[in-house]
Amino acid sequence: MPAVRLALAQMNAVVGDFARNVETLDRFRHQAAGVGADVVLSPELALTGYPPEDLLLKEGFIDAAELALISLRDAEGLPPLLVGTVVSEAEGAVSLAPSPDARNVVSEEPWPHVANALVALSDGVIATATKRLLPNYEVFDEQRYFHAGVGPHSIINVNGVALGLLICEDVWMAAGPAAELAAQGATLIVVANASPFARGRREEREAMLAERARETGCPIAYVNLVGGQDELVFDGQSVVVDATGAVLARARAFAEELLVVDIEARESGAGVRLDVAYPRDERRARAASVNSLAEPASEIAEIYDALVMGTRDYIWKNGFRSVVLGVSGGVDSSLVATIAVDAVGARAVRGVAMPSRYSSPGSLTDAYELGARLDVEVTTIPIEAAHAAFAEMLGAGLGEVPSGLTDENLQSRIRGVILMAISNATGAIVLTTGNKSEMAVGYSTLYGDSAGGFAVIKDVPKTMVYELCRHRNARAREAGDPEPISIEVLSKAPSAELRADQRDDQSLPPYELLDPLLAGYVDRDATAGELIAEGHDPSLVARVARLVDAAEYKRRQSPPGVRISKKAFGRDRRMPITNGFRVPRP
């Protein structure tokens, strides 16, 4: 059977940075030339970055994408490139020019029908495939921006192998676009993807690809984006399966990589012939790694790496060079500090200990110990003077000294002011340390512990925080390094330390009971009745549901953070703040 050497460019794109994305594509294309690849496949919207969202509505954005594409056309001595980009559609035919008659249905201003496309380049545009199925669930909102693909499916022919071109969602449907391509003569399906990470997503992808390969009788090459984009993290893990669904090659997770694969497929005369004219034959023997197969990591390892990459990319892609966070000696701030060091290095991380009259000596010691283990500078700024001054001011103005929850929140807000002041003075971004369990039930202070630029663990339940800490410690032991998080931090009862002898379980159910309820009510959208039927205590279900519903206004004001679940607060879960519906009491 004929074979194709395919290079899958698992790249980290930057939304809207056409120059950088062209440079990255060009770098991968040169690498592919060095190993004699026949063709290079890039991820979905590799040229624009994914998701471009309302940039697609900005004047000049589509034109800039076209110019970037043109800059990739002339590549003498390099293999053909399949590049993910946007194109304009006019009267059912794909073109690279805007349609003057199309109008924006929102503003009634001229606005072209834009398609999500995969363009084959080799001395010009050889073929263009447009995305047929536009996802409009979870974090996806493609029907807002894109016109569903029209015209015949695109097939290109390389060495007698007919490559059918698809984009992401199009490969997920049984008896859909992939089957149509096979019926038109395609013998190898290549898919450009921007599939965000979530727990269990890799297994779902590979199971689907195996099913589609058996359905079509074709090998499938699936390239995925890698990197962080606001809340989303793309894990890469590009993969190639043979016609039986067996995995032939897999790229690493959370790293850029050129995955080079030799794929045999049935001979076919279908498609536009793509002549591969550069001198590739003598370079094939020099290829160091072909058909490499990266072993999948454990789920908890994938989640940790997703948090590190999401944090790193948010920081550098937005122009920050350092971070600052409050370190309390607690498990949440210890985990966030450790992730920050792994993301940007110890020299770029500053911890700030802000003890109050209620802070235990052990907590301050644990904060210093964390700094020593991570080699991070920890600055101490006590808040007692500010706390006393605010209490005096409020007492004079209100006629009584603040107490109870008012006094607790006051301390948190003083700490928020300090961190934001350091941010203003140094240019460092403030990392918040609240977890998903606390955000779900509103166990946080607006403009206090929620104040900051990026919420690293906002999608991580409290019980998983401990799992991640233990995983990171185990990773350090395996590497022969000191464990970053001490046993004292992991063994003490969680506490905000905003009043004497405070513990979280005085205000909340124990986390081992709370987190499974939140996983049902938030992540699965289970009803109270369904949760009770699963064995949860009815009164606890009602209490937790009321807390979650009442805290929406707080969550709406929280900073973005890394999404690791299939139902994160923000893009996934869009609840109204003003909302009169409440779960009935059991």
For residue range 513-569, list pLDDT tens digits in order: 999 999 999 999 998 899 999 999 999 999 999 999 999 999 999 999 999 998 888
The answer to whether the bond into 538 is cis (omega within 30° of 0) is no
Enumerate residues 6+ apart whose C-beta is below 8 A from 473.
483, 484, 485
Enumerate residues 6+ apart whose C-beta is below 8 A from 384.
355, 356, 357
The per-residue pLDDT for 358 is 86
Rounded Cα gap, residues 50 and 445, in angstroms: 33
Rounded Cα gap, residues 171 and 162, in angstroms: 17
Burial letters for 399-424: b for 16+ Cβ neighbours within 10 Å, e otherwise?
eeebeeeebbbbbbbbbbebbbebbe
Burial letters for 484-512: b for 16+ Cβ neighbours within 10 Å, e otherwise?
bbbeebeebebbbbbbeeeebeeebbebe
Which residues in the chain show pLDDT less than 70?
89-112, 150-152, 279-283, 285-288, 497, 583-586
Contact between residue 337 and residue 325 where contact means Cβ atoms under 8 Å apart: yes
Alpha-helical runs (H) found in 142-273: 177-183, 201-216
The per-residue pLDDT for 49 is 96
Contact between residue 455 and residue 436 where contact means Cβ atoms under 8 Å apart: no
The per-residue pLDDT for 83 is 97
Rounded Cα gap, residues 258 and 236, in angstroms: 11
Select from 361, 205, 210, 184 the least CA-distant residue to 270: 184
The per-residue pLDDT for 77 is 84
Contact between residue 508 and residue 348 where contact means Cβ atoms under 8 Å apart: no
- Mind telling me the catalytic residues? 44, 131, 168
Cα dihedral 477→482→485→489 (10° resolution): 110
Q: Which helix (H) or strand (E) holds 480?
A: none
Give 197: exposed, middle or buried? Use CB within 10 Å, 0-12, 13-18, 19+: buried
Cα angle, residue 384 at apex, residues 381 and 386 outer, rounded to 5°: 85
The reported pTM is 0.92
Measured from the Cβ of residue 585, the count of other Cβ atoms closer than 10 Å reads 12
Rounded Cα gap, residues 315 and 499, in angstroms: 34
Domains in the chain with CATH codes = 3-289 (3.60.110.10), 301-506 (3.40.50.620)
The per-residue pLDDT for 286 is 62
The per-residue pLDDT for 315 is 97
The per-residue pLDDT for 149 is 82
Alpha-helical runs (H) found in 399-492: 404-426, 436-441, 462-479, 487-491
